[in-house]
Amino acid sequence: MKLNKLMNQKGIPIVKTLIVEDELTSRILLESVLSRYGECHVAVTGEEAVEAFRMARADAAPYDLICMDIRMPGMDGVEAVRKIRAMETKDGVLSTHGTKIVMQTAVDDVKDVVQSFYELCNAYLVKPVSAASLSGELRKMALIA
């Protein structure tokens, strides 16, 4: 299992993360867990997420991980993922080698799960997201040891 190449001084992988969440409590929870592993940026809407992703790629500093809420006002998470994966495809990056995407929602709806994986997310978590479940997904994706 290959881990993210960048390490901090203690040998822990550095994961650059974009948290996309319109609900404050969930944003705070995700940031408190994910900041242990590296730099976190926050977007509140799907539109902001797509723009942050585009800017990071333009700066040659793409995100390793995006945690994306499915239900948001305006552009929802599924549409944002569709646009993000289209940018990667345009640059010749397959979703299997691109940014890892974890979708999360308070709604445990099979249609949402199927649609999320159709749009090529890597994992799906039901809120409230626990630190253990999120860390477990990061390990499965080889983002952390």
Cα 140 to Cα 145: distance, rounded to the nearest angstrom: 9
Domain that holds residue 91: 17-140
Asked if the structure places residue 100 within a domain, the reply is yes
Please give the DSSP secondary-structure letter assigned to residue 12.
P
Task: State the CATH number of the domain containing residue 63.
Answer: 3.40.50.2300
Burial readout 47-78 (b: 16 or more C-beta within 10 A, e: otherwise): ebbbebbeebbeeeebbbbbbbbbebeebbbb
Report pLDDT digits (tens) over 20-31.
999 999 999 999
Report pLDDT digits (tens) over 52-89.
999 999 999 999 999 999 989 899 999 999 999 999 99
Is the confidence at residue 32, as pLDDT, over 90? yes
pTM (2 d.p.): 0.88
Report pLDDT digits (tens) over 84-106.
999 999 999 887 789 999 999 87
Contact 83, 76 (CB under 8 A): no
Asked if the structure places residue 30 within a domain, the reply is yes
